[in-house]
Structure 1
Amino acid sequence: MKSLIRNASVAAAALAVGLTATAIARADDKPTLAFVVNGASDFWKAAEAGVKKAQGELPDYTLELKYPEQSSVAIQQRLMDDLVTAGVKGIMVSAVDPKTSTDGLNKIASQTALFTTDSDAPQTKRVAYIGSSNVDAGKQAAEIAKKAMPDGGKCLGFVGLLGADNAKERIQGMKDGLAGTKIELVDVRGDDIDQARAKKNVEDALVASPDVTCMVGFYSYNTPRIYEALRDAGKLGSITVVGFDDDPITLGGVKEGTIAATVVQQPFEWAYQGMKLMAAYLKGDKSGIPAGNLIIIPTKIIGKDDVDAYAANLKAMAGN
């Protein structure tokens, strides 16, 4: 009997220790905030650096940047559902296609704090958007084209997700900026963030549309694929190229003069400021949310004379 009592006491003590350890583990658990991108692209490396910097200033949180396996609404939604199930307290997302995922995004918003970046979903219950004014970025692309093509011409655009708000707004902004000029954006071709397809779209256009005198890469990887296709066809310098973002190939083309200029965004700031904004919001501080629920991080044009200073700044932000 004494043996049974002793064994029971040991078991009870072990159970108590186990429960205490579990309680401690739970007490030590930090709330997680996630930054969910729209597809695999080097463009998001700057956002990774922004998340890393924010992590250093938010020791009470665990910050993560997540890539969907593929750029599709269903796969991105499943990723966010899994994050919510795992207990993530806040999600900032660049929605693949906000127009077709309103219900899914609202589901996430009902379970955790939802913010948007890069491509907004204003019809959802997201708390706020932090990112570029894509309309203004499109207008800046028009300014590049007008400066490079004073006699006019026909432009053909290339983009990843034709249905995404960031694509639609950049395209509309460029068309607005070209209104009344002799330059026309005649068409835009999508590739669903498939970079091999992106290059092939350019190659096909060189054959099918010989009257095109200007090409616009609306997503970060589109301009490098335009550059490569023109290089391979021996047409670098004979077609005006208007870029977006700061891929090394794009910056190299701007510096050598084969790309007129590029409109750059600040994904580092989206992530850095966005993580801090979410953390403050979850603590009850809503002072960082403006009345219009839009936090615009300006875009800017990088020309040939700006490349070296801009590239040095990028390295500094990344901690290199």
Structure 2
Amino acid sequence: MKRMMITGLAAALTLAASTAAFAQDKKTIAFVVNGPSDFWKIMEAAVARAQTELPDFDLQFRYPERADAAVQRRMMDDLVAAGIDAIAVSVVDPPTSTDAINTVAAEIPFFTFDSDATQSDRIAYIGSSNTQLGKMAGELMKTAMEGKDGKCMGFVGLPGADNAKERINGYNEAVAGTGLELIDVRGDDIDQTRARANVDDVLVANPEVNCMVGFYSYNPPRMYEALRDAGKLGEVTVVAFDEDPITLGAVAEGSFAGTVVQQPYEWGYQGAHLIADFLNGDKSKIPADGIMIIEGLTLTQDNVKQFEEDFKKKLSGG
């Protein structure tokens, strides 16, 4: 009996100590991306910078082992169980994830970035207008093709994600009636090997293709490698997305017509501050429509070098 009383007292003391420690803990915000891509390194750098300015918060940046809605949902559940205070997610498959998002959103503030889930109970989306980015890519292709007809092939990671669908729709809207036809879009589930194989297959099976669009950050580098190895760099007009170093180099040397870049650094930096303010009770910065748009940029040979210099400074913490 004495041993039981001592054990009970120890448990009570432990619980009291852990409760006190929890009360002193920093508020935790987790950013969950959509897959293991280098694209996210610049946003991760921005979150790290924001961390130095938000000492009362613990900012976490999480990568799933693969681009899979079930994996992402498991990560969200684990983070909630661990006691985080807010979460921001680039949603892998919004239509099938809405119920899971709403379950989490009933527990903690839920935000999205990059890929939205418009039908969910998320508080706000932070990122690009992917439709506008697609239109910018279409305008870039029209300029590069100089009025010529084109049989174009698209490459993307997650065809079902809102960001992919919106970019493709925006692109098609911009090139409508110009003789530039996006004949197909090949998905790869953010698998680098498949991304490269998709381009190789098109070069063999579709010799009529004379233009290509890489809709996700890692697609253009795999396109560059495939075209280089096939001896077709410069023969196929390429419009890219995002700022992978291989992509920027291809634009600088003239192998790609250009690239449309988002500003994931601002997603991370502004997003961290927005969510921290929200948790501190300041909701004034949340847009009335729940959409916080960070404008994209079009890069060509004329401005890519300056962008690349600024990009490297941000990655190094400058």
TM-score by length of 1: 0.93
Task: Report the residue type matching 1:35 in the other structure.
Answer: F
Return closer, same or farther for 1:86/1:171 CA change in 2, 3 Å cut-off.
same
Task: Report the residue type matching 1:317 in the other structure.
Answer: K
Per-residue CA deviation, residues 142-194 of structure 1 (Å, 9 max, x unaligned), is 11111110112111000000000000000000000001212111110100000
Q: Could you tell me which of 250, 254, 258 is aligned with 1:257? A: 254
Q: Which residue of 2 aligns with 1:78?
A: 74
Structure 1 position 289, deviation (Å): 1.0
TM-score by length of 2: 0.94
SS at the partner of 2:34?
A: coil
CA distance in 2, matches of 1:58, 1:113: 18
CA distance in 2, matches of 1:241, 1:300: 17
Q: Which residue of 2 aligns with 1:92?
A: 88
CA distance in 2, matches of 1:15, 1:86: 20
Q: Does 1:41 align with 2:10?
A: no
Return closer, same or farther for 1:233/1:33 CA change in 2, 3 Å cut-off.
same
Per-residue CA deviation, residues 227-251 of structure 1 (Å, 9 max, x unaligned), is 0000111101100010000000000
Q: Does 1:127 align with 2:123?
A: yes
Q: Which residue of 2 aligns with 1:184?
A: 181
Q: Which residue of 1 aligns with 2:245?
A: 248
Query: Aligned-residue CA RMSD in angstroms?
Result: 1.9
SS at the partner of 2:197?
A: helix
Q: Could you tell me which of 295, 298, 302 is aligned with 1:298? A: 295
Give matches, 1:212-251, under 5 Å. 212-251=209-248
**Aligned-residue identity in percent:** 59
Return closer, same or farther for 1:87/1:142 CA change in 2, 3 Å cut-off.
same
Structure 1 position 26, deviation (Å): 2.3
Per-residue CA deviation, residues 95-127 of structure 1 (Å, 9 max, x unaligned), is 000011111111111111100000110000000
CA distance in 2, matches of 1:232, 1:28: 57
SS at the partner of 1:262?
A: strand
The runs of at least 4 aligned residues of structure 1 exceeding 3 Å deviation read 14-24
Query: Based on CA coordinates, which of the two structures has the bigger radius of gyration?
Result: 1
Paired positions, count:
312
SS at the partner of 1:101?
A: helix
Q: Do 1:46 and 1:267's aligned partners in 2 also have CA atoms closer than 8 Å?
A: yes
Q: Does 1:312 align with 2:309?
A: yes
Per-residue CA deviation, residues 187-242 of structure 1 (Å, 9 max, x unaligned), is 10100000100000000001111111001100000000000000111101100010
Task: Report the residue type matching 1:165 in the other structure.
Answer: D
CA distance in 2, matches of 1:103, 1:210: 43
Per-residue CA deviation, residues 117-142 of structure 1 (Å, 9 max, x unaligned), is 00110000000101000000000101
Q: Which residue of 2 aligns with 1:195?
A: 192
Q: Do 1:115 and 1:126's aligned partners in 2 also have CA atoms closer than 8 Å?
A: yes
Task: Report the residue type matching 1:65 in the other structure.
Answer: F
Q: Could you tell me which of 138, 145, 150 is aligned with 2:141? A: 145
Structure 2 unaligned spans of 5+: none
Q: Could you tell me which of 55, 60, 67 is aligned with 1:59? A: 55
SS at the partner of 2:178?
A: coil
Structure 1 position 21, deviation (Å): 4.9
Return closer, same or farther for 1:16/1:123 CA change in 2, 3 Å cut-off.
closer
Structure 1 position 19, deviation (Å): 6.8
Structure 1 position 20, deviation (Å): 6.9
Give matches, 1:262-273, under 5 Å. 262-273=259-270
Q: Do 1:98 and 1:120's aligned partners in 2 also have CA atoms closer than 8 Å?
A: yes
Return closer, same or farther for 1:34/1:213 CA change in 2, 3 Å cut-off.
same
SS at the partner of 1:305?
A: coil
CA distance in 1, matches of 2:229, 2:56: 51
Return closer, same or farther for 1:89/1:184 CA change in 2, 3 Å cut-off.
same
